């Protein structure tokens, strides 16, 4: 069984407004922000409102994200996280099956 090379992948998506509102509420909850901050050794974070669908690794997308989001991967002021599956379920988001969210760090 060989590897399948993906030449092009459409990472675009749209969310139902109610699903998006629920997801943003979960991603902005104090408990979740605190959990992310704890993982970052005490840095505070805020959700930027930016979401993207992970894409297959390729020469055009070596970080597994759309090229326009790679600057956040390189940034010391941002952190990229996978949206927890239970957040996707609670928001009733089935497609896409995975999302990533971008948070801004505030050093204390």
The confidence score (pLDDT) of residue 57 equals 78
Cβ neighbours of residue 16 under 8 Å, at least 6 residues apart? 92, 93
Q: Please report the pLDDT score of residue 6 as a whole number.
A: 55
Number of domains in the chain: 1
Q: What is the pLDDT along the chain (108 residues), one digit of tens a residue?
A: 565 555 555 556 788 899 999 999 999 999 999 999 999 887 899 999 999 999 887 777 788 888 889 899 889 899 999 999 999 999 999 889 899 999 999 876
The verdict on residue 7 lying in a domain is: no
Task: Name the token pair of 8.
Answer: 């092009």
The vertex-31 CA angle with 48 and 93, nearest 5°, equals 60
Question: For residue 11, is it within any domain?
Answer: no
pLDDT value of position 41: 85
Residues in the chain: 108
Look up the domain containing 100 and give its range: 17-106
Tell whether 99 is covered by a domain.
yes
In a domain, 77, yes or no: yes
């Amino acid at each position: 069984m060989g590897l399948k090379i993906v030449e092009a992948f459409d990472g675009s998506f749209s969310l139902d407004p109610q699903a998006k509102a629920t997801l943003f509420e979960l991603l902005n909850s104090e408990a979740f922000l605190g959990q992310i901050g704890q993982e970052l050794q005490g840095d505070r974070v805020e959700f930027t409102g930016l979401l993207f669908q992970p894409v297959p690794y390729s020469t055009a997308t070596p970080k597994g994200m759309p090229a326009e989001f790679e600057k956040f991967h390189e940034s010391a002021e941002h952190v990229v996280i996978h949206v927890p599956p239970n957040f996707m379920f609670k928001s009733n988001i089935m497609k896409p099956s995975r999302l990533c969210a971008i948070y801004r760090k505030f050093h204390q």
